[in-house]
Amino acid sequence: MAGTIRKGIKIFGTILFLVYMTGLIYFLFFAEEYGRGVEGMVYDYNLCPFREIRRFLSYREILGTRAVFLNLAGNVIGFMPFGALLPVLARSARKWWKTVLISFEISSLVEVSQLIFQVGCFDVDDIMLNTLGGLLGYAVFWVGRHGYLWLESGRQKTETQAERQERAA
């Protein structure tokens, strides 16, 4: 029974991961409403850590809550599914630091691709926020996995107690 549940979770996780990655790639490289693929736009980049984060927080009244939220929280939330689904799909990523490292690597790859293809904006702050999102996603995985294991151990104890009572009767 547990093997069937695990296999179902892995298949469902794989499908979710593929849908998530497709959406992420579209959003990061092709979504025109967020400045991707717009011709005539002057390309910009940020190599100074915390500069854009400070700028968004300092000018939040001018930029608007939506822009601040989309940039700061959006970068964190956008990578949370990656951090939550990666350990489901890859047993080797079940250590928190591996998930964080892979989140950092994928985020860096995305940002360097944006720099090379001049799509979006290369920003080291995005790498930091995406990596944080991967870590928080891993925390969601960890809580879910340990909750599942706790429920399973409780069910096994209940089954064992029922077996003992049957033998005693």
pLDDT in tens, 120-143: 789 999 999 999 999 999 999 999
Structural domains in the chain (count): 1
* 136 against 25, higher pLDDT: 136
Cβ-Cβ contacts under 8 Å for 131 (sequence gap 6 or more): 79, 100, 103, 104, 107
- Residue 36 pLDDT > 60, yes or no? no
pTM tops 0.85, yes or no: no
How far apart, in whole angstroms, are the C-alpha atoms of residue 9 and residue 3?
A: 10
Nearest Cα neighbor of 41 from 143, 120, 134, 152 is 120
Q: What is the reported pLDDT for 20?
A: 95
Average pLDDT over residues 56-81: 94
- Report in angstroms the alpha-carbon separations of 168 from 71, 156, 162, 165: 64, 18, 10, 5
pLDDT tens for 71-125 read 999 999 999 999 999 999 999 999 999 999 999 999 999 999 988 988 878 999 9
Domain housing 90: 2-168
